[in-house]
Chains A and B, each alone.
Chain A
């Protein structure tokens, strides 16, 4: 009984064994159509605006702008922010656009959620896992942004924009993303 083992591994978290064939939701549109259109969008951005598709550096801009508000001397003395001065940048506005676009898509498709604990999380950790979810989300976000800055991009910047330009570093990074992600998710959800 792996479930019993998992309960012992994470005491008090109310861990349940996920069903072997978990009922995953269906995407609204064909993933091939969506992928193809994302490929086209990437090409348009490169050819018309000389911009790489990317998201993660937008968060670094927000961090730098917030840092300047809270501790301007500390922020301004960091080498990273001297080399990449935080501003209302292309990528920051792009990320804001993503939020709006996803809202429109969910709204038109009747898929808005408004919940903190998502289904697969609930199936694994139960209703009583608000603290654990907050911790994984917050720490996960910190670790991920740290890794993205180190690797030079995220699943958009390396995973789509870099790979399709046949950049060797992007292919290395995207394989590393999935290795780290698969190991972590297996430990969290299937142990």
Chain B
């Protein structure tokens, strides 16, 4: 019952198989983790269209409060758990061209749709019907990218490849100093946000 292709579906040649990418138990845990995440997103107000557009209009900063406090807790946890060997960092390669160009394209889509991929799913669960249209767009856009991935990785994908080093590896400071510096900086930003809002 584990791994691709081991399910009991004896499909005909013209019917493509839908594979389980993981053992069922792992997928069950993924569902539970997603459920917790979705529950938190909705309770945090970030499944709401108005609140998501509000951050892009720089008028309602709940989204920043949620993201920055998640990062503060996460950085603090990493600082302790990585040296103890309890977490192995899972960092994607930095490719400046893709991160910048793809990031700006993502942002344009975010502004138009008003939800991001995670909060769109949460908005669907909450009952925002426009998010269902958005999810259809997300699926179509993913396929469109798959059609164009080759020319993109041969061009923009070549700009600024920096590997998967973390800030703690790059900066000429002890890792703990970098981590604490980031935490202090983000707490200051959160305090400023709290003061202006």
Residues of A within 8 A of B (CB): 22, 24-29, 31-32, 34-47, 49-53, 55-56, 58-69, 72, 75, 78-81, 85, 87-106, 109, 111-121, 133-134, 136-190
Residue of B45, B57, B117, B123 near A155 (CB, 8 A) is B117
A43 touches B103 (CB 8 A): no
Nearest A-chain residue to B193, judged by Cβ: A31
A177 touches B107 (CB 8 A): yes
Kindly provide the distance from the CB of B60 to the nearest chain A CB, expressed in whole angstroms.
Answer: 4
Contact with A along B39-72 (1 / 0, CB 8 A): 1111111111111011011111010011111111
Residues of B within 8 A of A (CB): 4, 14, 16, 18-22, 26-27, 29-51, 53-54, 56-60, 62, 65-75, 77-78, 81, 86-96, 98-114, 116-131, 133-147, 149-150, 152, 156, 162, 164-168, 170, 178-179, 182, 190
Given the known interface contacts A102-B42, A180-B110, the answer about A144 and B141 at a Cβ–Cβ threshold of 8 Å is yes
> What are 5 A-B pairs at a CB distance below 8 A?
A101-B42, A121-B114, A150-B152, A171-B167, A190-B57
A164 touches B135 (CB 8 A): no
Kindly provide the distance from the CB of B32 to the nearest chain A CB, expressed in whole angstroms.
Answer: 7
Kindly provide the distance from the CB of B101 to the nearest chain A CB, expressed in whole angstroms.
Answer: 7
B122 touches A47 (CB 8 A): no
Residue of A22, A72, A139 near B16 (CB, 8 A) is A72
Given the known interface contacts A27-B44, A36-B70, A80-B149, the answer about A118 and B114 at a Cβ–Cβ threshold of 8 Å is yes
Q: Report chain B residues within 8 Å CB of A104.
A: 35, 38-39, 125
B127 touches A32 (CB 8 A): no
A164 touches B78 (CB 8 A): yes
Complex Cα–Cα for A119 and B77 (A): 38
B108 touches A111 (CB 8 A): no
B122 touches A35 (CB 8 A): no
Complex Cα–Cα for A176 and B105 (A): 8
B42 touches A180 (CB 8 A): no
Given the known interface contacts A142-B137, A149-B142, A166-B75, the answer about A97 and B108 at a Cβ–Cβ threshold of 8 Å is no
Complex Cα–Cα for A106 and B51 (A): 15
The winner among A69, A97, A164 for most chain B CB atoms within 10 A is: A97
Kindly provide the distance from the CB of A160 to the nearest chain B CB, expressed in whole angstroms.
Answer: 5
Residue of B113, B122, B135, B156 near A150 (CB, 8 A) is B156
Kindly provide the distance from the CB of B75 to the nearest chain A CB, expressed in whole angstroms.
Answer: 5
Residue of B70, B106, B120 near A160 (CB, 8 A) is B70
Kindly provide the distance from the CB of A127 to the nearest chain B CB, expressed in whole angstroms.
Answer: 14
Residue of A26, A95, A106, A153 near B121 (CB, 8 A) is A95
A167 touches B92 (CB 8 A): yes
Residue of B22, B87, B113, B142 near A136 (CB, 8 A) is B113
For the A-B complex with A166-B182, A173-B106 known, give 13 more contacts whose Cβ atoms are closer than 8 Å: A27-B62, A64-B142, A88-B27, A89-B22, A95-B121, A98-B34, A98-B38, A99-B121, A105-B39, A145-B140, A166-B178, A167-B91, A184-B110
